[in-house]
Structure 1
Amino acid sequence: MPSGSIIGWKFPPIGWVKCNVDGSCRRLEHSAGCGGVCRDAQGKWVNCFARKLGYCSSMKAEILAIYTGLAEAWRFGF
């Protein structure tokens, strides 16, 4: 990444909703979880979620975060 680059959240197009998700695990504690937040084209909060996953790899936690985000978007009709 070039020096001086600004990293930030970008608004989705009008009529769209953007869901940002993340998953993580703590191997020593044998626990994992995921969560996410959905925002509209004005950046306003639409929905969020948090999910306890039990024990799994960090890759599986990330995939389950994406899956859960998509399932929540579908459930709310986005």
Structure 2
Amino acid sequence: MATTYEITYRVLPAGVGPDDYEPADLEERTDRFELSDPELASIDGNGYPQHYGPSYPEMKAAIRAHLGNGDEGIIVTVRQV
């Protein structure tokens, strides 16, 4: 089963290197993605479950597929919705 995440990211255009831009100059977008369910990682000292997910590579791949044409997404925030 999948979970919906709202991911805010900045768009790094294809062909732009890591030293060729200022973060404030990049377009920022927020989109929703269906990704893996969060997994139980541990139970904290107060008995509350700690969940983690989705994986960073899974998020990057989803953003890259959404953007197409070689653009990259630089993840800013991730929120489960």
The normalised TM-score by structure 2 is 0.30
* Structure number with higher strand proportion: 2
Structure with the bigger RCO (C-alpha within 8 Å, sep 6+) is 2
* Structure number with higher helix proportion: 1
The normalised TM-score by structure 1 is 0.31
